[in-house]
Structure 1
Amino acid sequence: MAPDTPRHPAGNDAGFSAAELLVVLAALAALATVYMALQRAPEIYTVESAAQRLAAEIERARAEAVAREGEALIAVLPDGRFAARVGDAGSLSVTGTPSEEWESLPDGMGWGAGEAGTDPLGRPAGPLPAQVYCGADGECSPPAPWAVYTLRSDREPHRVAAVTLDAAGSVEVWAWAAGTGSWTAVAR
């Protein structure tokens, strides 16, 4: 053996240990899981969650109007925006709603019943109520007997949800079951 040949000290082998490789593989699996979740079609879960969000905004505005002894305005626009505002009685209007108070439905969603055809009340799906007011007493002014806000997926028209609001201020969230052709109330 030549005197200048380098030797590796004992215990300092080149390469990675099994534990190090497992840590790297676990990290890559976690990243792949996050990536796949982000690539999933958002409509699979956002139609119902968007309906839940709208229902929560309606309930928040109505409760705040009662607490402040004012009124709430719930308004929707055909372009997918909605607002739930609170102010003094008689002071609210759709045209007076500042641009920063409008919220938008998630991308890939719009107003309408998609393949549902009927609303949760069994009536033919109709136009959205332009605006509904709720007063300091908690009573609301929906079109008789309910305001129905239907939301659909643009890419998957069988994915439909709805929010209903009655004159007493009761809010319900519904999901369309395309397989059975019926609406089911969604637990909140």
Structure 2
Amino acid sequence: MPVDTKTDVLNTADTMARGYGFDGFSYADLADSVGIRKASIHYHYPTKGDLSLALIGRYRHVFLDRLAQITARDTSASARLLAFLDLYRDALDGGRSLCLCVALSVTQGALPEATKSELARFHRDVAQWLETVFRLALSDGSIRAVTDPKAEAQAALAQVEGAQIMARAATDPTRFEAAIDTLRARAI
């Protein structure tokens, strides 16, 4: 089934934002990549702020769906944590890319308030999911040394997002692995 223009623009912008940063491409770059005129992009997304909001909104729903799939599939806290780490590892694409949430987070100054709010919702929702993982670990014992699930969740999210930035900056995925090793090693 062919992808409609609006979705094609969104897919291409997602790839460009992850690879170059949200400030690293223009509507002219996007139009050239999609093979349409800039006016067509403006028709669907009048401003780059509108595009950023559409990107993070879609990303948030897809990511939360993946977390729901992990919850349904994996019964232990450690399996859920390791699957979560895999999501961030996969998004790194060998050090060539970032998760969209990370790519947008590093350019927050250029984002409209609506996008910043949606990005904050994304981080809040992911941290809440991680908190449930660490709460489960208190009862199933599958993650070592859990003391404060809420604090653990905030630290884990910061750790994986920071690890992505380090690995992307060096185009070296081993930096991601080294940075998350303490999390991975706690899983039993």
TM-score (norm 1): 0.30
TM-score normalised by structure 2 residue count: 0.30
Higher strand share: 1
Structure ID, larger Rg: 1
Q: Which has the higher contact order (CA 8 A, sep 6+)?
A: 2
In terms of fraction of residues, the more helix-rich structure is: 2
